[in-house]
Amino acid sequence: MSKGKTLTFVLMDPPFEASRTTTAMRAIDAALRRGVNCNVFAYEGAVMLPFRHQQPHPNPVHGRDAAEEDHPLPREWVAGLMAMAKERDAAFNWVNCGLCVDERGAGDAIDGVQRGTPADLWKMASTSDNTVVVATA
């Protein structure tokens, strides 16, 4: 694990609803590329971001089949960030809020996603150089 700086991100938007999610993912990507350790606390709808059963679909309006459409899936972004962190020797923890998971039936997340509570958010934030909250509007 990198001994450098650590950032914690709090995400709140569900997938496919807000550009804030893409922006937050880009910020995490940029941090990991620089070897910055990153924590993510997924709160409320954001616990669906690493949901295992997200599927790409064709888009008849675009005139493209599923392969041509190459629909981006947030679960793949999360998995990609995990893989990149490993390559860069940076720590990357994705913690889903457990109660938020339960109320959404979102327990079937991709491998590597942890279940936690706001106490975990506090621990992560307390040991980070800074924390970025990306809340829903």
Partner 1 sequence: MKHLNIVSSAYRATIEEQDDTVVWVTHCLRNAGADIDMLLCGAAVNYPAAGQQVAPVTIGGRTQKHGPDVHEQIRTFVGNGSKVMAVREDLDERGIDHRRLLQEVQVIDRKALPSLLKNYDRVWHW
Asked if 105 is part of the footprint of partner 1 (rule: CB under 8 A), the reply reads: no
Contact with partner 1 (CB under 8 A): which of 24, 31, 110, 121?
Answer: 121
Contact with partner 1 (CB under 8 A): which of 18, 29, 44, 54?
Answer: 44
Q: Which residues on adjacent β-strands are paired with residue 109?
A: 51
Beta strands, E only, 88-129: 92-97, 114-116
Is residue 115 within 8 Å of 95, Cβ to Cβ? Answer: yes
For residue 33 the two structure tokens come to: 């590329």
* Min separation Cβ 5 and partner 1, Å: 15
Q: Sign of dihedral through CA atoms 26, 135, 110, 116?
A: positive
Asked if 114 is part of the footprint of partner 1 (rule: CB under 8 A), the reply reads: no
Cα→Cα distances 70→40, 73, 100, 124, Å: 26, 9, 29, 34
28-36, 50-58, 75-83, 119-127 -> range binding partner 1 (CB under 8 A): 119-127
Asked if 122 is part of the footprint of partner 1 (rule: CB under 8 A), the reply reads: yes
Asked if 135 is part of the footprint of partner 1 (rule: CB under 8 A), the reply reads: yes
**Site residues, partner 1 (CB under 8 A):** 10, 12, 43-44, 117-119, 121-123, 125-126, 130-131, 133, 135-137
